[in-house]
Amino acid sequence: MFPADCKYTKNHEFVKPLGDGTAIIGITNYAQEALGDVVFVDLPEVGETFGAGDEFGTVESVKTVSECYMPTAGEVIEVNADLEAHPEYVNEDPVAKGWMIKVRLEGAVNAELLDAAAYEAHVASESH
Partner 1 sequence: MTTARKQTPLFDWHKAHGGNIVEFGDYLMPVWYASARNEHLAVVSQAGLFDTSHMATIRVFGKDAYELLQWCFTRNLDACVGKDNAPLTDGKCVYGLFLDEHGHAIDDSIVYKIMDGEYMVEVNASMGGAVAKHLVEQAKGRDVKVFDLTDQLGKIDIQGPASIKTMAKLLKNPEVVFDKLPYFSAKGHFDPASTLAGQVQLLDGTPLLLSRSGYTGEVGFEMFVERAQTVKVWEMIMAAGAEFGLTACGLASRDSLRTGAVLPLSHQDIGHWPCINNPWPFALPFAASGSGFTKAFLGSAALEMAAPSADWTLTYVGHDLRKVDGHDAKVYLDGKEIGTVLTCATDMAIGRHEGRIYSIASPEKPAGLAIKGLCCGFIKVGSRLAPGTTVEIKDAKRSIQVVIETDVRPDRSARKALKSFL
Helix residue ranges, H only, the chain: 29-35, 82-85, 89-92, 116-126
> At closest approach, how far in Å is the CB of 43 from partner 1?
14
Query: What binding mask, one character per residue, do residues 55-94 give for partner 1 by CB under 8 A, x or -?
Result: ---x-x-xxxx----------------------x--x---
Q: Which residue from 11, 39, 97, 109 is in contact with partner 1, where contact means CB under 8 A?
A: 39
Asked whether 26 and 50 are in contact (CB, 8 A), the reply is no
The Cα-based distances of 40 to 2, 35, 36, 111, 117 in angstroms read 24, 12, 12, 31, 30
> At closest approach, how far in Å is the CB of 36 from partner 1?
6
Which residues make beta-bridge pairs with 23? Answer: 17, 103
Select from 24-32, 34-42, 44-52, 100-108 the region that touches partner 1 (CB under 8 A): 34-42
The nearer residue to partner 1, 46 or 64, going by C-beta atoms, is 64
How do beta strands 65-69 and 55-61 pair?
antiparallel
Q: In the complex, which residues of this chain contact partner 1 (CB under 8 A)?
A: 36-37, 39-40, 58, 60, 62-65, 88, 91
